[in-house]
Structure 1
Amino acid sequence: MDRQFHYFLAVPIAKDQKSYLHNWVVQHKDQYPFKSWVHQDDYHITLAFLGAVASPQQLANLKNQVSHIAQSHSPFELSLSGIDVFGKKESPRILWAGINESSYLHSLQRQVFHTCIEVGFSLDKKPFNPHITLARRWKSEVPFQYTNELRHIFEADKQTFLADKIHLYKTHLDRIPKYEAVEIFSLKG
């Protein structure tokens, strides 16, 4: 089975917000020298990183269970918050756009996470911190300067989008964009 590919489940970002984030990246890329920038078509909010799939049956079981979860959840609104980082503040490993608190998103993630474990995936147990990765690996000798402006950087009218799907993505390390949606589950509850 696709052992060379890694899979993950995620909420896709709406087209307008992808464009908005991409425009921010284009305007600020030179100011923030990261080694790699995420292609705008790869923007998403990860619900569960699965890694390799053991068998076709494991993948089929997962698709079946996630389909049931999607049918029990209604679409809900999400909104972008500011920019932040993971890793050392002076040389972060990830630059990301945050998502404002959403009990709907947390509920969806919990169900997806537990289902993945039931189907046999070993998942990272870190607390869920919804975000959209924009860049990876700080590459400057000059320390990263985090400012309070980054916390509230997005215009209010550009922030909100409808979360109405879960995508099962397959990762292709040899191409850009890297992520291929191999299954789409519409929220219908």
Structure 2
Amino acid sequence: MKKHYFIAVPIEEHHQQLIQNWITTYKNKLPFQSWVHPNDYHITLAFLGDVGEDEKLELLVDKIKQTVQFVPQYELFLKGIDVFGKPDFPRIFWAGLKESTNLQQFQKQVFDRCQEVGFQLDKKPFRPHITLARKWKSEEPFRKWSQLDHAFEGSSSHFKVEKIHLYQTNLNKIPKYEVVETFLLQTLESVRE
């Protein structure tokens, strides 16, 4: 079985629990076929797919290490929930994030490093999100309701991006994403030095 790889911002345990608490409250209204394990929550920056050559992956790891040494830590904020796919029968149910220039710029840097090494990446515009569930399974159409737009409001919805991971997908395990490499972003003090 081929192993797929991707680079992503992990969601720390406190915010995994925050999302899980929200899901527990509303899950009976949301008949999706499969729910993502909380340890697998992440924000994908670049999906690499089947890597094939180990040398290519090693070269990418070196390039990402060089890049993150100049990237300071920054904050992100959870904001609302939405879907991808047909509005009535969506394929992906996800948590959103407030717009972040830091995240957009960082994703572009990671994306560019991947392309420099020779990875062919999806050219669709970057839509940062945290996948929560897949495949609507009810015969009744999905309908958006106000709690989706206002999910996470008034809670401790902000979190610091301190690192990113290179993940490997293991389809036969739960959780299914395994950390292969961790890249630490810099504190403001270390960037100034």
Normalising by the smaller structure, the TM-score range is: over 0.9
Q: 2:101 aligns with which of 100, 103, 106?
A: 103
How much is the aligned-residue C-alpha RMSD, in angstroms? 1.1
4+ runs of 1 displaced by more than 6 Å? Answer: none
Give the Cα–Cα distance (whole angstroms) in 1 for the partners of residues 110 and 182 of structure 2. 14
Give the match for residue 118 of structure 2: 120
Q: Distance in 2 between matches of 1:116 and 1:135?
A: 27
Give the secondary-structure state (helix, strand or coil) at the position aligned to 1:49.
strand
1:131 aligns to what?
129
- Once the two structures are superposed, the pairs formed by residues 1-189 of structure 1 within 5 Å of their partners are 4-188=2-186, 189=191
Q: What is the rounded CA distance, in whole Å, between the counterparts of 2:166 and 2:51 in structure 1?
A: 12
Give the unaligned 5+ runs of structure 1: none
Which range moved further: 107-116 or 154-163? 154-163
Q: Structure 2 regions of 5+ residues with no counterpart?
A: none
CA distance in 1 between counterparts of 2:174 and 2:25 reads: 21
- Say if 1:27 and 1:148 are closer, same or farther in 2 by CA, change over 3 A: closer
Q: Secondary structure at the match of 1:143?
A: coil
- Equivalent residues, number: 187
Q: Is the 8 A contact 2:79 2:153 kept in 1?
A: no
- The DSSP-based 3-state class of the residue aligned with 1:156 is coil
Measure, in 2, the Cα distance between the counterparts of 1:119 and 1:54: 13
TM-score by length of 1: 0.96
Question: What is the CA–CA distance in structure 2 between the aligned matches of 1:50 and 1:89, rounded to whole Å?
Answer: 28
Within 2, Cα distance between the matches of 1:148 and 1:23?
17
Q: For the residues of structure 1 that align with 2:156 and 2:92, how far apart are their CA atoms?
A: 23
Q: What SS does the corresponding residue of 2:120 show, helix, strand or coil?
A: coil
| Residue 70 of structure 1: how far off its partner (Å) | 1.1
For residue 117 of structure 1, give the secondary structure of its aligned residue in structure 2.
Answer: helix
Instruction: Give the deviation of 1:157 after TM superposition.
Output: 3.2
CA contact (8 A) 2:9 2:43 kept: yes
Separation (CA, whole Å) in 2 of partners of 1:180 and 1:36:
19
Task: Give me the TM-score of the superposition, normalised by structure 2.
Answer: 0.94
Q: CA deviation at 1:148?
A: 3.3
Q: Which amino acid aligns with 1:125?
A: K
Identity of counterpart residues, as a percentage? 52
Q: How big is each residue's C-alpha offset from its partner over 1:124-183, in whole Å with a ceiling of 9 and x where there is no partner?
A: 111000000000000000000112331112133320000010100000000100000110
The amino acid that maps onto 1:116 is C
